[in-house]
Amino acid sequence: MRKTAVVTTLFVIALFALPLGAAATGIGVDNTSVTCPLPETAGAVVIDISDELMLAWDADRSTAGPVSVSVPAGSWDVFVVSYDDHSNKTHQSQLEEQWILRGLAGGVEVLATAATPDLSETTDVQTFAMGTFTTTEALDEVMAVHAAYPSDEPHSVAPLCAGFYPTGTGPNTDPACPFPAGPGVVTISTELMLAWDADSSMAGPVAFDLAAGTWEVFLVSWDNHSAKPHQTQAEEQWYLEGWAGDTLVFTTPATGDLPEDTDFAVFGVGSITVNAAIDQVKAVHAAYPSDDPNSVAPLCATFTPTGSTSTVVSPTTAAPPTTTAA
């Protein structure tokens, strides 16, 4: 189930996003706390496949299933979800964490997707849109097949789940900044920063022009807590640096911790004075160095001129906040 929240004194927004993030340890170790993030909407068929890692170098672990399903004949948008505990496997490099979904009717294959993209080493759980398929027979089983088998590398990946959605009704798989694009808004990263790894404790630099002045700053944090309900990480916090070339111009206060029952939140971190124009920003994990990952993605930031007014958005509305200069 998706979860969203806003932590700011100026406005409240409600948003939809499909997540990232999870937790386990080591190649081949299974994690029963990870849950499928795909929404169960009207007419959809969502199937849990396996949270056990498939391995491309092991014939016995290169497939998962078959799993019983009931997918009527018809036209379907197919979505699949890959999982691996990259947050706890720093410096791992496996570039073929990919798998194929096969649909069966009476033991005969009637549907096969292309291979998923590789699950990024900075992402634990990711949803992939696999395209639209038309079946003339009802599916009664699905199975997952590792796309890289046989290989000399494990390329560990779990085929967490799959979803069949009537054509045109599939979910949005991409996290998006809640603020409308424009001056003062910068998209940073959907990749998880990790507080226990120097190489993953920052994101950027990202090109961004901001004039000198006084600005109210809002930072948006994101992690896939919906898919890892038993995680406890109390310092999923970050701050933003503004740079002019190689010169550090400002550092914002840090966000609050992203609550474990929330997938993403907007944090008002206060007002800053920018003494010189900047041309780039960097996100920095506030808890680095730490013995825990405290995984968090610095999704985006917005700078509002001090003295402007913000429109309060109803929690039942998916529209992002708007600002009007005073």
Give per-residue pLDDT as tens, 152-162: 999 999 999 99
Q: What is the mean pLDDT of residues 130-145?
A: 93
Any residues with CB less than 8 A from the CB of 322 and at least 6 apart, and which? 180, 310, 311
Any residues with CB less than 8 A from the CB of 233 and at least 6 apart, and which? 257, 260, 292, 293, 294, 295
Asked if pLDDT for residue 208 goes beyond 70, the answer is yes
CB 98 within 8 A of CB 88: no
Band of the pLDDT at 321, cuts 50, 70, 90?
very low
Please compute, for residue 1, the number of CA atoms within 13 A of its CA located in the half-sphere on the CB side.
Answer: 5
Distance CA 79, CA 173 (A): 9
What's the token pair of residue 191?
A: 């990749």
Burial (CB count within 10 angstroms: exposed 0-12, middle 13-18, buried 19+), residue 174: exposed
Band of the pLDDT at 33, cuts 50, 70, 90?
low
Distance CA 219, CA 190 (A): 13
> Residues of the chain with pLDDT > 70: what percent?
82
Q: What is the mean pLDDT of residues 199-227?
A: 92
Band of the pLDDT at 315, cuts 50, 70, 90?
very low
Band of the pLDDT at 264, cuts 50, 70, 90?
confident
DSSP state of 237: -
Task: Pick left, alpha or beta for residue 291 (phi over 0 → left; psi -120 to 50 → alpha; otherwise beta).
Answer: alpha
Asked if pLDDT for residue 128 goes beyond 80, the answer is yes
Identity of residue 179: F
Asked if pLDDT for residue 204 goes beyond 50, the answer is yes
What's the token pair of residue 180?
A: 């409308």
Band of the pLDDT at 310, cuts 50, 70, 90?
very low
Q: What is the pLDDT of residue 52?
A: 94
Q: What is the mean pLDDT of residues 164-180?
A: 83
Asked if pLDDT for residue 67 goes beyond 90, the answer is yes
Distance CA 22, CA 47 (A): 19
* Top-ranked range on mean pLDDT: pick from 7-21, 27-41, 161-175, 311-325: 161-175
**Which of 21-30, 98-107, 112-121, 145-154 bottoms out in mean pLDDT, i.e. has the lowest?**
21-30
Asked if pLDDT for residue 203 goes beyond 90, the answer is yes
Asked if pLDDT for residue 90 goes beyond 80, the answer is no
CA end-to-end span of the chain: 39
Phi, psi of 87 (to 5 degrees): -60, -30
CB 193 within 8 A of CB 238: yes
CA angle at 317 for the pair 303 and 176, rounded to the nearest 5°: 50
Any residues with CB less than 8 A from the CB of 272 and at least 6 apart, and which? 214, 215, 217, 250, 252
Cis before 259? omega within 30? no
Bridge partners, 260 (sequence order): none
Band of the pLDDT at 307, cuts 50, 70, 90?
confident
- What is the rounded average pLDDT for all residues in the chain? 82
Place of tokens 């190649």: 27
CB 59 within 8 A of CB 150: yes
Which has the closest alpha carbon to 123: 293, 307, 304?
293
